[in-house]
Chain A
């Protein structure tokens, strides 16, 4: 249900919030159809980078999606290319799941926002894709944490964008639901041809799911590459101020452990 897969490329992205520089020229290169994780200690600018790519924050530098500069695109066209799920999505409690997911069709509608048959079909498909078909009439306030995350993903899927930006998609989820959501995103990436860029604070999780990682520290990308390349004990110690041991799980995906002092 998605158009051609898109690569994401950012060169020298600078963002300032309230005149305070947050990103000092960050590069990002995400292959089409891959999962890229942005890591870094608190305040490194991970969310800011995602919000710049999403078109929420003004930036300097260049961001290209599918080979096209994002800055010049009208808002609606950009929205058809890039979907964004914030860390804490706002789900109006008395809106139904169906209504919420159909809002994902907004960039495909005219100014008055009249939905057509196809829009409803796409939204229904997104619900089905996330096992929510029976929940369309359920109110958002009655959904559990794990269900809510699925609803938000369905909304993003209904948007039919080729790039999915996820800001800490596992926050406030227990272990089982973390796995469920990340597996789901990975499946969507594989089957729908989505390009996924996510921030993740859990280094081992990032190593499990992402094809490539960027380590962001104080607004600069200090390392990028595969998990094995980026996540070394020395580097984590240096940038997080944490003592850790890094194990190889045998599949090329390192596991990062805290070590007690």
Chain B
């Protein structure tokens, strides 16, 4: 019995520690890679030096420090943040809808953000335009993403009774409607198509500490809310009827978690464009390793999602250097075969 208890305690801890180690390693590797070469030891020391109570002399030159602090790090941190948000939001959507194919695209968040950003790029003066010091495109994507979810939720609740099937169908309806408007706008303004596309496939080229600071508060709120509802999601997996008889209000739970996950998605999309596949694949991979319980799945998705996107971005900016690949292309191109491999390697879990 005591051995069993030890195993129960140890497994989640080991999983979380390993994922944290992978993320830290990814951050280090991504900080090293790029046009300007940085020494491994010095970079590691400079990173450690940033931790509280750690004081190290990295031996980096002022220029190298500048590259690390102002170019590499903001980008790596932003990629970590976005990957973590997208992956956890994906896990939350999949839990809420009890549908393994759900992600931020399911309930209109991506479509809404995409259309709003397209409208601003085409009619609103483009990415250089700012509102109150914030880029117009991120702002529009943020608002558009939330509006897409809101429209889907209201429609799904009006048509159905707030059940998962009607929400998913409403999300499909809103997404294709919004998508058609976006296609029309792009069609009628071919001059901006390239710019729109580069945004639609996501990019961290604009990453700086300002964007990190912009995203951080929303990221913190959404991660906190989603993480606190882990057990609620476990109970929802038994179906609405049993959730009710276990004292849970499934409709209210769905609303809260959907709102938080959508805030995460809107935040991620605002600072990086639309990056597909992370929200869909990372939770699946984590589930294979850590099991379906959300108390482990949600924090693990944060860590693994962050590591995955940091490495994908490293590939995006180094594979065809000095040119950059759109990160959404990398996540899908690398992610899809990787996903199939993971499914194959762990298929025993299905039987």
Contacts and interface: CB of A to CB of B under 8 A. Distances in A.
A223 to B, nearest CB: 28
A56 B246 CA distance: 10
B278 to A, nearest CB: 22
- If over half of B's interface residues share one DSSP class (helix, strand or loop), that class is named, otherwise mixed; here it is helix
A178 to B, nearest CB: 22
B246 A106 contact: yes
Given A84-B241, A86-B241, A112-B228, A103 B234 contact: yes
B94 to A, nearest CB: 12
A113 B232 CA distance: 8
Contact of A95 (B230, B245, B293): B293
Contacts, number: 79
B99 interface: no
A92 interface: yes
Interface stretch (A72-80, A184-192, A230-238): A72-80
A interface bracket (residues with beta carbon within 8 Å of B):
35 or more
B248 interface: yes
Interface string A68-97: 000000011111101110100110111110
Contact of A55 (B232, B234, B239, B244): B244
A77 B293 CA distance: 25
Interface in B216-254: 228, 230-232, 234-235, 237-239, 241-242, 244-249
Nearest to A112: B228
Interface residues of B, number: 25
Interface string B275-305: 0000000000001000111000000000000
A56 B241 contact: yes
- If over half of A's interface residues share one DSSP class (helix, strand or loop), that class is named, otherwise mixed; here it is mixed
B48 to A, nearest CB: 34
Nearest to A159: B246
Contact of A94 (B231, B246, B349): B349
A136 B235 CA distance: 18
A107 interface: yes
A147 interface: no
A107 B244 contact: no
Interface string B301-315: 000000000000000
B351 interface: yes
B129 to A, nearest CB: 43
Contacts of A200: none
A65 to B, nearest CB: 13
13 contacts: A54-B244, A78-B247, A86-B241, A89-B238, A90-B239, A92-B237, A94-B292, A95-B293, A106-B248, A107-B246, A107-B247, A113-B231, A137-B4
Q: Would you list the 3 A-B pairs with minimal beta carbon distance, nearest first?
A: A113-B231, A79-B247, A76-B247
